[in-house]
């Protein structure tokens, strides 16, 4: 597969998803980059803006399996990972796979489940496997968890632990559509008498093509100056006066991998400083814990990263 092929494949996938999700090209591209970087995605947004549609459209576009898990306070770990059931006919226990073992898994309202269920999800996200009754079961490849949470409604929720937030390679927000985009959505919804546009969405990539693109993304060249730039950004978050917790080394690795994937999707076999600047807020923002005094001023992790980027020298830039 030549280096000119990935942009064509990406454009095909973006155009396919945009048939059912209007006006969210940047978010779709970031989701595809996260898939190629073998990461997971957290979407923080209000209900009804297309989070489920985005997940289902991605699964259909790559011809992969899709499962949805609605997290609730009474959800048990076995409801996520699956359980072993005794078969009286054979006299043996048989594993019944849980919904987590799919190519694209939508975890809806992730912060509504208890800590024990959250911990069951952690192994699947990090190790790409689940352990049930001493046996290990691998997740299919590719494997992407797309989790959602409402940033406004906190009653009956459990704050996500830092360890789990750190396992999401990127955080997205779809936001409300513009007036023209919402009109297009209404026209689209009324053009289908039965079913929905998702029902007719074809697969435009194969699982094999996605796996090949993932391998290519890992091979994209990252110069030492770029790596030093990423480390400098991460280090600046760890000493920032408005933060209680800075970015972890896992965050730096995530930024490298997202930059590699984005470069590949844009037809390059090398990472540029612009890739780092474009992705750093989305990759680092949710990993940072803002100090209470700064939070009262409306300060956020994303704003902190943007401020750091303004003051750090860009590799290769001329000194004025």
Are 113 and 74 a contacting pair, CB within 8 Å?
Answer: no
- Per-residue model confidence as pLDDT tens for the chain (320 residues): 444 477 888 889 999 998 889 889 999 999 999 999 999 999 998 888 889 999 999 999 999 999 999 999 999 999 999 988 888 888 888 888 999 999 999 999 998 888 888 888 888 998 999 988 888 899 999 999 999 988 776 676 777 878 888 899 999 999 898 999 889 888 877 776 666 778 888 999 999 999 999 999 999 999 999 999 999 999 999 999 888 889 999 999 999 999 999 999 999 999 999 999 999 999 999 999 888 888 888 888 889 999 999 999 888 655 44
216-247: b (≥16 Cβ within 10 Å) or e: bbeebebeeebbebbeebbebbeebebbeebb
Are 254 and 169 a contacting pair, CB within 8 Å?
Answer: yes
pTM equals 0.90
What pLDDT score was predicted for residue 252?
96
| C-alpha to C-alpha distance for 298 and 21, rounded to whole angstroms | 31
What pLDDT score was predicted for residue 171?
94
What pLDDT score was predicted for residue 281?
95
What pLDDT score was predicted for residue 195?
66
| C-alpha to C-alpha distance for 67 and 315, rounded to whole angstroms | 43
Give the DSSP letter of residue 221.
B
What pLDDT score was predicted for residue 189?
77
Give the 3-state secondary structure of residue 313.
coil
Provide the phi-psi class of 196: left if phi over 0, else alpha when psi is between -120 and 50, else beta.
Answer: beta
> What domains sit in the chain, N to C, each tagged with a CATH number?
1-206 (3.40.50.300), 220-313 (1.10.8.80)
What pLDDT score was predicted for residue 56?
94
């Amino acid at each position: 597969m030549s280096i000119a092929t990935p942009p064509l494949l990406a454009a095909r996938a973006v155009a396919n998803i945009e048939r059912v999700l209007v006006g969210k090209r940047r978010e779709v591209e970031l989701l595809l980059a996260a898939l190629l970087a073998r990461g997971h995605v957290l979407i923080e947004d209000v209900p009804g803006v297309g989070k489920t549609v985005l997940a289902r459209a991605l699964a259909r576009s790559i011809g992969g399996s899709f499962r949805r898990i609605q997290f609730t306070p009474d959800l048990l770990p076995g409801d996520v990972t699956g359980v072993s059931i005794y078969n009286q006919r054979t006299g043996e226990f048989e594993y019944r796979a849980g919904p987590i073992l799919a190519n694209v898994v939508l975890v809806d309202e992730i912060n509504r489940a208890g800590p024990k269920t959250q911990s069951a999800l952690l192994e699947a996200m990090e190790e790409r496997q689940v352990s049930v009754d001493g046996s290990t079961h691998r997740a299919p490849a590719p494997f992407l968890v797309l989790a959602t949470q409402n940033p406004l409604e906190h009653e009956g929720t459990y704050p996500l632990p830092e360890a789990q937030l750190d396992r999401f390679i990127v955080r997205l927000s779809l936001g409300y559509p513009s007036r023209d985009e919402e009109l297009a959505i209404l026209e689209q919804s009324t053009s289908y008498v039965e079913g929905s546009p998702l029902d007719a969405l074809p697969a435009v990539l194969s699982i094999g093509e996605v796996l090949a693109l993932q391998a290519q993304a890992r091979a994209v060249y990252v110069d030492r100056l770029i790596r030093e730039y990423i480390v400098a950004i991460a280090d600046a978050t760890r000493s920032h006066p408005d933060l209680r917790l800075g970015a972890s080394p896992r965050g730096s690795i995530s930024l490298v991998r997202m930059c590699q994937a984005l470069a590949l999707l844009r037809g390059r076999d090398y990472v540029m400083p612009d890739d780092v600047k474009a992705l750093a807020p989305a990759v680092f923002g949710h990993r940072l814990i803002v100090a209470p005094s700064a939070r009262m001023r409306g300060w956020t992790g994303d704003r902190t990263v943007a401020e750091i980027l303004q003051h750090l020298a860009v590799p290769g830039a001329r000194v004025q």
